[in-house]
Structure 1
Amino acid sequence: MTGRTHLIVSTGITLSVLSLWGQPVTLPAAAAAVIGSLLPDIDEPNSLLLQKTLPKKLIHIVKILLALLGLGLIVYARLTAFYPPYSYMAGGLMIAACLVNHRLFRQLLMILLGGVLLYAAVTFEAGPWWATIGALLMVCAVLPHRGLTHTIYGAAIWGGLLYFASLMLSVPLWLAGGLSYTLHLLCDVLTKQGIQPFPPFSWKWKIPLMSTGKFSGFLVESICITITFVLMWNAFVKPMGVSAFVILQQLKDRMTGM
């Protein structure tokens, strides 16, 4: 499935289920649902989530800045004899990193950002959250697509993080984020590739109904989106209509009584 379909289906169904269960649909819960709907594809550098957080324009800017920094380091080392061999190597690596494609460069940025978060967590005692997020970024950057993030282990880790975050923030995030993440996995079960829920066991969950980019994918995705809109109608629009009807009926009764 495409990232946009995952976003619509997982987020829409999650918020609808929360509303139908009588749970509060808050902005933090909606944000957790949106992130959970796209998070399993973080191991794919060209996924919708990474394209939005690290767009091509930003990648171009970072590449230019990194190339200038590498060139400046080489010139500075040449003029001041600042650790010449090591400075030349570091500057050359910075320039070489700018020559790779966007996909690989995103992976390098994920590893770098993860390392910075880990360093901040250890050096400045920023807490376990930064260390956990940093470690996950570094691991996901080198994992193959539909690896750890497309397993029950990944869903459990995400749900656990949200559960403890909910305890600390006193905001129920785990239900929205965990359900949205799980719905993403269930949607991928409908593809020919399926998912491997319990590695290293090789058996897969798959109902091969579709292939992304083909007519079968368009058909299955359209059905899933339609089901999502029906649920959202019953969860949000229909109750609003009933409430409006009740208010109008009360106004009518008051006017009749006058």
Structure 2
Amino acid sequence: MRGKSHLAIGLLTTVEATSAMGISISPIGVLLSIIFSIIPDIDEANSSALNKLISKSFTKKLHRLLLYSLLILSFFFYSKTNSSLYIILFLSLTMIGLVEKKVTENFVRSTFISTFFLIITAILILFRLNISVIMLSSLLCIFPVTKHRSLSHTAIMPIFIYFLMKYFEVEFNLNNIAIPSALAYSSHLVCDICTKRGIPIFSPIYRKNVSIANLKVGSFLCNFVETLAIVILVALLLFMTFKGLIKVSLI
């Protein structure tokens, strides 16, 4: 499912579900709903979630800088062998050509994000900050380098997110952020399990992908279903608002 559809469905579902449960949602809850509705796709290099963290244009520059740096380094090391200049150039360019096939822009993009959050996590540990913040940062470090629709798309993750955000609630004296966060995350999994590819929802117990529908992401039918779902959820939101069922708090 497209990123913008995940975001819209995740936010609408979370607001309506929390209100139906008698739980008010705050601006922080809304923000977290937006984040957790798309964050599972941080393991996909071309996802909208990763686009928010690092642009494609910056990735291209980073990829080009890496290759040029490797070319200069390889030329330097080969030059120490006292070989012919032509042989050195040939070996350097050959090595870069082989590296470029493996070290793609997507690989650089994912690795950069993972390394960034790894550094953040190390700093948090160094200053002994809140354990829940460290765990969240660790997740953002792990997800980008995992296979798409693997760890981040399992049923255990919404449960983990719930308890993690519940810890946030207690430590920072926040109200009602655990349930909206878990619901938004769950909405992403529900949407993806309806696609043809499916998700490993029961992993690690059952590692194969599970699919309950045959929707191909990007197809006319899938886009139509996404749009229809959003329209229905918007209509339901308006109905609930008219009936005074939507519960909103400022904190």
For the criterion TM > 0.5, the same-fold answer is: yes
Distance 1:204 1:111 in 2: 25
Contact 2:63 2:105 survives alignment (8 Å): no
Distance 1:26 1:127 in 2: 22
Residues 102/63 of structure 1: CA separation in 2 closer, same or farther (3 Å cut): closer
Distance 2:49 2:208 in 1: 28
Deviation at 1:67, TM superposition (A): 8.3
Match of 2:234 among 204, 229, 232: 229
- Which residue number in structure 1 is paired with residue 36 of structure 2? 36
Match of 1:210 among 215, 235, 245: 215
What's the TM-score once normalised by structure 2's chain length?
0.75
Deviations 1:18-55 (A, max 9, x none): 23444222110001110111011111121111101212
Contact 1:166 1:174 survives alignment (8 Å): yes
Match of 2:155 among 141, 152, 156: 152
Deviation at 1:115, TM superposition (A): 2.1
RMSD, matched Cα: 3.0
* Identity across matched positions, percent: 25
Higher-Rg member (1/2): 1
- Which residue number in structure 2 is paired with residue 79 of structure 1? none
- Which residue number in structure 2 is paired with residue 248 of structure 1? none
- Which residue number in structure 2 is paired with residue 191 of structure 1? 195
Deviation at 1:129, TM superposition (A): 3.6
Match of 1:162 among 148, 160, 165: 165
Distance 1:48 1:18 in 2: 26
Gaps of 5+ in 1: 75-92, 241-258
- Which residue number in structure 2 is paired with residue 251 of structure 1? none
**More relative contact order, 1 or 2 (CA 8 Å, 6+ apart):** 2
Distance 1:52 1:231 in 2: 29
Distance 1:10 1:160 in 2: 19
Deviation at 1:110, TM superposition (A): 2.0
Distance 2:67 2:211 in 1: 45
Deviations 1:32-81 (A, max 9, x none): 1101110111111211111012122443565678789x69x98xxxxxxx
SS of residue paired to 1:235: helix
Deviation at 1:111, TM superposition (A): 2.3
Deviation at 1:191, TM superposition (A): 0.8
- Which residue number in structure 1 is paired with residue 119 of structure 2? 116
Deviation at 1:100, TM superposition (A): 4.6
Residues 66/102 of structure 1: CA separation in 2 closer, same or farther (3 Å cut): closer
Gaps of 5+ in 2: 74-95, 245-251
Partner amino acid for 2:34?
Answer: V
Contact 2:63 2:104 survives alignment (8 Å): no
Higher helix fraction (1 or 2): 1
Partner amino acid for 1:128?
Answer: I
Partner amino acid for 1:173?
Answer: I
Deviation at 1:113, TM superposition (A): 1.2
Deviation at 1:159, TM superposition (A): 1.6
Contact 1:120 1:130 survives alignment (8 Å): no
Q: Quick check: 1:175 aligned with 2:179?
A: yes
